[in-house]
Structure 1
């Protein structure tokens, strides 16, 4: 089943067809899956990390650990924000294959380093390098290669399938993490710091090994030059230039999708990042149970819902309209979290319903590119610019939320949910504007074809 043939080695383009397309989508999704798992371990194991950094090793004092977790989250976010445009440029200038390989190797090395729980500065450096691997090397290459595998009608299914594979893989490694870290739980229910350190090392070493494995599979099975499903074999790829960057910046769709995905991702930052800790500190469940619930929300539910939304959006007929509907429902459920926290069962059920909605939106973030008129040849530059803007919560939200929690205790969670609701309202307005714009483009295209 090798996709790399001798002609690729000579620099010729290859169009991937049939079942091989789905193999490439799945392989890229596996690389992207481990890429988004490791820098965001706080989403699933927040309380375990607090023990790791204060009791296993005195990395920071206990009264500032939330702020520290926010600090390295912010470090990752800053590099990612700055790196996404360059990653888009690299995806348009260089082979997606070699960008994926370089990113996998870099993040694999960092995972082994993180496994030994180094000092405060080293943890920050690790997350800076995670940001380089994610935004400069892997992200835009992954998006562009996935987009190349399908035509305009297939974009929803391509990206939702990719998210489904990412979700299933995240579930498997997430539950493996729960199993490893669960070995550090004493009969009393408390975490034993020394055992936690050993199991953390095991988890991170396995993660590092997976990065190397997927990089090897990319080396073996993905051609160096891939022609997109809607590209002519002899059609030159748009080269990077300041003019092309300006062209992308002038496209209204670039700004609409940036704002829309920003609002959607704001729910992910709040939900994935703090629902687990919320269930421990406000609802009173154990850390291990909270991690199990987090894996179910962040990976099992996410896998199913990101897969389903591709077909749901096809039925609705518009990705932007679909995201607007999801944002409205997510805002209502987020408000319900605030007002039902004294009713344990009801609030817990609402937390899962909330996850069903906000995690599903991720499945079509970048399936919207074609809908707002962004050409395939500009995918790298466009995704780089959009990612820089829409993932801004990675820069500031972990630090902001950590500050709220350190300052206000459990009342800080209310601030987190109110912030998400505000983003939801803004997102609904943006979705309406984007949908009307996409309909206008569609009518103009139909008139040209008549």
Structure 2
């Protein structure tokens, strides 16, 4: 689990580097907000295309094979990225990172589901997300410290990127030598090959879970923009804004593990309804409250509430696969299909946010952005309630 969780952090360091280093990265690359958004869209599109075949691979090959490929490939791309290449070459790197992500993602989810014993799916996925949160916080804090120590310049950012590249390659080697060598059984492979797709595609639960992931991931992606919001609206320094972004990451392990225990005790969907309600309220506060230096403490506290809710949902939403009784033999394929829909915010949120921030400078752009996210979270709340009714109905019939 430690290797799986760490891999789930380092794989995403480069495509989401703008979460902490948005303004320094934009300046180092010499790009506009729209161009930075298009880089994330290129990553999201590559991931989107690959999620389904990535799920197919996860049902057929062992994590010991897939994870090293993704981690080492990501690290090699990061080494080139440290030179801050031209815009076209940077686009190609984000496409590469998207491909490496889907090689690993579904196999991580399948391995976690199979690792958990009966009645502990919530804790298993909560633990996975918690390990991701701890490693993300530690790596993020180290990166910010190095960036500040090296002078907060483009060269300092390049040093951080090189460190992240070495980390990915090293973890890929560790994964190869430490992960279980056992592949899924032949019987499971046959089930996944011939009947899995026929069972999955018409299953309403699969598509409801996809919408839930989409809603929460829209909020997760939008929270990246609190870093530039902090520096431009709340008048915080770039270093302080980065420190808040890293501090937010440390809430992930707390929220994820707490949500995991709550999900095993009271139910996955019940836990998520509560978290979505908090998330809707927090996004509305961002949308309607003045973003000024005077209100900085309130906005930072609200960010903490929104982050806790998002991380709680992310910690357990894949546990819905078990709660909705999707066959274990099709876990990889189900994860690929859910991700195909659920992670599309990687494609549309960055360019939409970039357009809003460029077209409506200042507070107006941020208010519109967070208002749209509040609507997406309300959709997630309603969809989770629908899942709950279906789960209750099956339980009563049983």
Offset of residue 435 of structure 1: 0.5
Q: Which structure would you say has the larger Rg?
A: 1
Distance 2:314 2:251 in 1: 12
State which of 146, 151, 154 in structure 2 corresponds to 1:180: 146
State which of 331, 350, 356 in structure 2 corresponds to 1:379: 331
Offset of residue 180 of structure 1: 2.1
Question: What is residue 314 of structure 2 aligned with on the other side?
Answer: 362
State which of 231, 242, 258 in structure 2 corresponds to 1:308: 258
Question: What is residue 252 of structure 1 aligned with on the other side?
Answer: 204
Distance 1:246 1:207 in 2: 41
The aligned runs of 1:214-293 (5 Å cut-off) are 214-226=171-183, 235-241=187-193, 243-271=195-223, 273-293=224-244
CA contact (8 A) 2:196 2:329 kept: no
Q: Aligned pair 1:324/2:273, yes or no?
A: yes
Distance 1:30 1:435 in 2: 32
SS in 2 for 1:118: coil
Question: What is residue 60 of structure 2 aligned with on the other side?
Answer: 93
Distance 2:210 2:55 in 1: 14
Segments of 5+ residues of structure 2 without an aligned counterpart are none
CA contact (8 A) 2:15 2:43 kept: yes
CA contact (8 A) 2:287 2:368 kept: no
After TM superposition, the runs of 4+ consecutive aligned structure 1 residues lying more than 6 A away are: none
Question: What is residue 9 of structure 2 aligned with on the other side?
Answer: 33
TM-score by length of 1: 0.84
Question: What is residue 417 of structure 1 aligned with on the other side?
Answer: 370
Q: Aligned pair 1:52/2:2, yes or no?
A: no
Question: What is residue 73 of structure 1 aligned with on the other side?
Answer: 40
Q: Which moved more, 1:383-392 or 1:318-327?
A: 318-327
Segments of 5+ residues of structure 1 without an aligned counterpart are 1-24, 55-59, 186-190, 228-232
Distance 2:159 2:191 in 1: 43
Q: CA RMSD in A?
A: 1.6
Distance 1:261 1:332 in 2: 18
Q: Aligned pair 1:338/2:287, yes or no?
A: yes
TM-score by length of 2: 0.95
Distance 1:234 1:51 in 2: 52
CA contact (8 A) 2:70 2:104 kept: yes
Offset of residue 30 of structure 1: 0.6
Distance 2:194 2:105 in 1: 21
